[in-house]
Structure 1
Amino acid sequence: MTREHYFEALGDGRYQPTIHVQGAWSPEEQHVAPVIGLLLHALELNHPREDLQWARISVDILGFIRRDEMTVTTRVLRAGRTIELLEATARIDDRDTVRATAWRLVRGDTSEVAGAPEPEGTPMPAPDELPVWGGMLHWGGGFIKSLEFRSPGNEPGRGRTWVRTPLELVGGEPSSALAAWVGLLDTANGTAVRKDPREWMFPNVDLTLHLHREPEGPWVGLDTKVYFGPSGVGETSSVLHDEHGPVGTLAQCLTLRPIEP
């Protein structure tokens, strides 16, 4: 049986979103999380390099992401033998909507010096140690409904959450486990909300991922803190995990505004 997916490949860099990408703030929008995964998928598809690994992906959300056909274009901004910088852009109706730049660096055996500082506080619990969590049900949209969450229960501005999906990222084209994993990261901002999203809006305008090793899916672990400033700007910061431990960090810039009654 064919698995369901977030996007259907139409050829020539065109992709049709399914109901499963439906956003949380508006039923007419796409959630940016799977779009980010799609941009990485396009980079891997169009510019394969097995000798290089992704180290940073920086995403800018340029406007409302309408749930309609997208065209994804890619290019190499800085070619190199050991270091490359690439760009992927999603366009809807001839308007750039989401843009990502990504550094990838040469692979090599650094196991002799590999290591990371001990995490502060108690370690991130494993997903199979936690119950299925319904704390995301206050969010609407088909994307959030497509996901499984595990958590001990989060507090305003602080949470530890695991997320995975049974859906494929793209139908009609083979996509990597990493692209699917990256396509879940933007859920971080919704896992430890400081205010009820029915009373306050706090969408992110960007997302920056740094990886020190390639994660092994399907679970994404989010050890998240959310900060609201006094003048309309906030920040979501997460330490990212797979089931073997920390793999990198994630940051999102938020715009804060009350929802008018």
Structure 2
Amino acid sequence: MSALEAIATQAGSSGDADDTSTWVLGPVARGPWDAGSAHGGAPAALLARAAEALAAPGQRVSSLSYTFLGPVPVGEVELTARVIKSGSRFAVVHATLAAGGRTAMELRAVLLRRGSVPLPPGIGSPWPELPPPEGLEAIPSWFLPADATAFHPTAMEIRVIDGSLAEPAPKGRSAWLRLQVPVVAGETPSGAQRAVAAADFGNGLSTPVGFDGYLFVNCDLHVALHRDPAGEWIGLRSKTELDRAGTGLTTTELHDAAGRFGTASQTLFVDTR
């Protein structure tokens, strides 16, 4: 794939700091609401890549906690990432995306050593739950025309397991998602990158009220991975709970073909349109 088909292209370093670089989020990063703003999953994947790049040999990304401080623009952004707690067993990376003189997104990632721990029989075995994506139809569009260049449908393929995205899902909804473009041209997305790119769809998949009458914006995204996901497909089983105070919470089980590998949550700002 060409650089134009990737989520992000590096534009160079910024300033004298070794931990800061400049990137351009391409058209496929666009979200559904504003042509100039990215879908949260796109910059989340780029920040996950930055955290992985700082992992010591033998470490894996165990959790990623994002805070959305404002819209992330499609276009040039400044990425800063550094290790704030080093260690071979446990390390912490802090990363930010900034644009136009403001910080738009922040990440704190926990890295754990990849060990070999003997466990009793049956402990740690995967437990498959979701039916496979094969045989399910891809959703051609969601809020945008099918031929639009955006995170969905261009970069992310969605196959819904239960119900239609046109209807509310008071009991939650499950779907398989597949990242169809690289985060950075010439690189195969890691399992963690695929997981966070998909996890940000949880609140949209499982909203219990209609998009036409309500606004529910996730202010953060927390992803915890108890094992590395495998394969291209990421399964989401999401449920959203809302309160009359104008807040909500989406909780998502994350699956691959072998079963559940992690959990995601999103805190929501809720209001009427």
TM-score > 0.5 by shorter chain: yes
Correspondences of 1:34-45 after superposition (within 5 Å):
34-45=42-53
Fraction of identical pairs, as percent:
26
> Any conservation in 2 of the 1:210–1:248 contact (CA below 8 Å)?
yes
Q: Look up the match of 1:239.
A: 253
Provide the rounded CA distance (Å) in 2 between the counterparts of 1:117 and 1:15: 37
Contact 2:48 2:193 in 1 (8 A): no
Indicate whether 1:74 and 2:74 are aligned.
Answer: no
Q: Deviations over 1:195-222 (max 9, x none)?
A: 2223211010000011110001311100
Q: Which amino acid aligns with 2:175?
A: T
What is the letter of the counterpart of residue 192 of structure 1? S
State the 1:175 CA deviation: 5.6
Distance of 2:270 and 2:81 partners within structure 1: 32
Q: CA RMSD in A?
A: 2.1
Taking the aligned partners of 2:126 and 2:49, their CA distance within structure 1 comes to: 31
Alpha-carbon distance in structure 1 between the residues aligned to 2:101 and 2:45: 21
Counterpart-to-counterpart distance in 2, 1:51 and 1:191: 35
Q: Structure 1: how far apart are the matches of 2:248 and 2:78?
A: 31
- The Cα of 1:129 is off from its aligned counterpart by 4.3
Partner secondary structure for residue 168 of structure 1: coil
C-alpha distance in 2 between matches for 1:179 and 1:2:
22
CA distance in 2, matches of 1:166, 1:176: 10
Indicate which of 236, 239, 242 corresponds to 1:222.
236
- Unmatched segments (≥5 aa) in structure 2: 14-20
Which residue among 23, 27, 30 is the counterpart of 1:22?
30
Within a 5 Å distance, the mapping from 1:28-177 to structure 2 comes to 28-45=36-53, 47-110=54-117, 112-113=119-120, 114-115=123-124, 123-133=129-139, 137-138=142-143, 142-146=150-154, 147-154=156-163, 156-157=169-170, 158-171=172-185, 174=187, 176-177=189-190
1:68 Cα deviation (Å)?
2.6
CA distance in 2, matches of 1:256, 1:63: 16
Structure 1: which 5+ residue stretches go unaligned?
none
Task: Report the number of matched residues.
Answer: 253
Secondary structure of the corresponding residue to residue 57 of structure 1: strand
The structural deviation recorded for 1:179 is 4.6
1:184 aligned counterpart, secondary structure: helix
What is the alpha-carbon distance in structure 1 between the residues aligned to residue 240 and residue 23 of structure 2?
A: 33
TM-score scaled by length of structure 1 = 0.89
TM-score for both structures, normalised by structure 2? 0.85
Conserved 8 A contact 2:161-2:176: no
2:126/2:259 contact within 8 Å kept: no
The residue matched to 2:92 in structure 1 has which SS? Answer: strand
> Match of 1:42, SS?
helix
Do the aligned partners of residues 101 and 144 (structure 1) sit closer, same or farther apart at CA in structure 2, a change above 3 Å counting? same
1:200-251 per-residue CA deviation (whole Å, 9 max, x = no partner) reads 1101000001111000131110011011111100111001001110001000
What is the alpha-carbon distance in structure 2 between the residues aligned to residue 193 and residue 238 of structure 1? Answer: 12
